Structure 1
């Protein structure tokens, strides 16, 4: 798979960082805010935030949305008919010479308002990923703000070894183009499942988790919260064995002011933190999500699961992960200690990303075991990935 992964969607939303005076609608998974002055917007920050439910992710082979949410988008668009979209009236201040510098190639993935392509740099022949967002779909000002924020975030994180490289942003009369590094090493879980059964160890998992924590720590250092940490949002730079893992999607990321909390519910159901569901979240929610990912990497199953999203949320709020079920008895005490310290329901008692990087299980030269994990781990993981993709396909078919 040679694409940048634009994944998942908001659960629901209200204005971030500020007291919520009105309830807010989620329109195809985007950051929609309602006030007396502005209608709910169907906005276009990324090629995948329009795609519906918590389980959706934007890749070349899948997209989709919940029927009702799609209807909402159409309704809002009709309501804006006759009005020049805000995006069409906005000069973003980006370079205007995209067509002179790049040639667009094959489509990698698409959402309702944006498309992601492979493109070629005319000056050196290098391949890049380009997210092209339609200005006419940016109906109201918040849509424009979302695009500007994503570019700002990519610039702020530029140069980090585990963040997709941002090259430049361009615009013309019809589109905004975000030009980024093309990651061709595949998704995290696919890469693990490609390993031979005898080769996947705790050490392999710890190396991956350490790279995720570095991304979270860097975000938090810049006053950012990622807000959608999950395996689908991490790709390997290349197929090489020692390829770095790259965070590729910052469409739900946001800056947070000191002493404030986010009051909107964002992210993906499996990975959402308890405080997000309580509408009082901050940087700690990223660490919870990484704890969920680590649990999956070590046993192949989700720590919190139910057949419905509401059921998953109840599990997250009320229950604790089960460390008695196979293969946990064969997993090291250090690994279990690490996961337990990340999956603490009280965010104040949870390890920070920086603290987690110092845990003996994950730190470089630490005590993560190099003994192959039980064969059931990859079997469980294979079922998890299969189920998730069937769910995404179902959402696409019914939208």
Structure 2
């Protein structure tokens, strides 16, 4: 099902009828550039500074949590910069910085994208781990980590985006969260109790696999077949992959969440510690 199917129709209609509308008497919407998990994303011009920014429009009735989580997190070099939140009668607008190079990788099911080199993978993944570690230290799980939600600046700095599926950790048990099917952990599919951070760590593993190979580790034409592979199929690897990188991917994609590598151990894994 296409992502726009899940976006409120009212947002699509609003964009088509008021394309260049002003937000908060300061930001002029220029064009739609994407769809997040909870709304539409636009590029806008700040008419006071004449700089570009990104604005995510969320249906007010659907999700207030994303804006409150972004406010809580505070600035971090690997999380998208939050500028302000504006509300009108029907929508919440999250004003954020622009990461001009866009997503780190465009993953299309059943197709191959140019993978990153071992050195490039390491450079990007270190930054992503730092972002997720910052979240977990503040009691937040992202809930939708994937290449599409990882942007790059002109200086090759990672920015984690889209907190529409993020939630707060409570009582060491995680809610069953939504997310992108190919990045969902086995424990989410089985709907069993698990560590609140384990599903983010699994999604880090799928993301690292994509960066290294240019495609998903598990791909099937139906959700049922996909879920079965995630639950039972070993992680496929090529003969040429760096052995330490292979080891980290396997530990991230450990199907038992109780045996899966922790984020502290990820930060000190030999693959990430070597130049």
Structure 1 length normalisation: TM-score?
0.59
Q: Give the CA deviation at 1:258.
A: 2.6
**Equivalent runs, 1:285-304 vs 2, <5 Å:** 285-304=199-218
Residues 1:251 and 2:251 aligned together:
no
Unaligned runs of 5+ in 1: 1-52, 58-62, 78-96, 368-399
Deviation string 1:336-373 (CA, Å, 9 cap, x unpaired) is 1111111111112111222201111123xx15xxxxxx
Report the RMSD for the aligned CA atoms in angstroms: 2.8
CA contact (8 A) 1:265 1:277 kept: no
Q: In the TM superposition, what is the alpha-carbon distance from 1:230 to its structure 2 partner? A: 0.7
Partners of 2:38 and 2:218 lie apart in 1 by 32
Contact 2:144 2:165 in 1 (8 A): yes
SS of residue in 2 equivalent to 1:120: strand
Does 2:271 correspond to 1:355? no
| Counterparts of residues 1-399 of structure 1 (less than 5 Å) | 53=1, 56-57=2-3, 63-64=4-5, 98-109=23-34, 114-135=39-60, 138=61, 143=62, 146-147=63-64, 149-190=65-106, 200-238=116-154, 242-262=155-175, 264-279=176-191, 280-281=193-194, 282-323=196-237, 328-363=238-273, 366=274
Q: Distance in 1 between matches of 2:76 and 2:126?
A: 14
Q: Select the structure with the greater relative contact order (CA < 8 A; seq sep ≥ 6).
A: 1
Inter-partner Cα distance in structure 1 for 2:250 and 2:80: 29
Please say if residues 106 and 148 of structure 2, whose CA atoms lie closer than 8 Å, have aligned partners that are also in contact: no
Q: Per the alignment, do residues 333 and 352 of structure 1 end up closer, same or farther by CA in structure 2, a change over 3 Å counting?
A: same
C-alpha contact 1:214 1:353 (8 A) present in aligned 2: no
1:259 to 1:134, Cα distance in 2 relative to 1, 3 A: closer
Distance 1:309 1:108, change over 3 A: same
| Higher CA-based Rg | 1
The answer on whether the counterparts of 1:213 and 1:354 sit within 8 Å (CA) in structure 2 is no
Alpha carbons of 1:346 and 1:167: their partners in 2 closer, same or farther (altered >3 Å)?
Answer: same
More strand per residue? 2
- Alpha-carbon displacement from aligned partner over 1:118-159 (angstroms, at most 9, x marks no partner): 222232212111123344xx2xxxx3xx22x10111112231
- The normalised TM-score by structure 2 is 0.83
| Cα displacement string for residues 309-340 of structure 1 (whole angstroms, at most 9, x for unaligned residues) | 111111111121123xxxx2122211111111
Cα 1:249/1:134, change in 2 over 3 Å: closer
1:388 aligns to what?
none
Provide structure 2 residue ranges, at least 5 long, that are not aligned to the other structure. Answer: 11-21
CA contact 1:227–1:252 (8 Å) conserved in 2: yes
Deviations 1:149-173 (A, max 9, x none): 1011111223111111111111123
Corresponding residue pairs, total: 258
C-alpha change, 1:109 and 1:316, in structure 2 (3 Å) is: closer
Query: After the TM superposition, which parts of structure 1 deviate over 4 Å for at least 4 consecutive aligned residues?
Result: 110-114
CA drift at 1:225:
0.8
User: 1:75-102: per-residue Cα shift (whole Å, max 9, x none)?
Assistant: xx9xxxxxxxxxxxxxxxxxxx953332
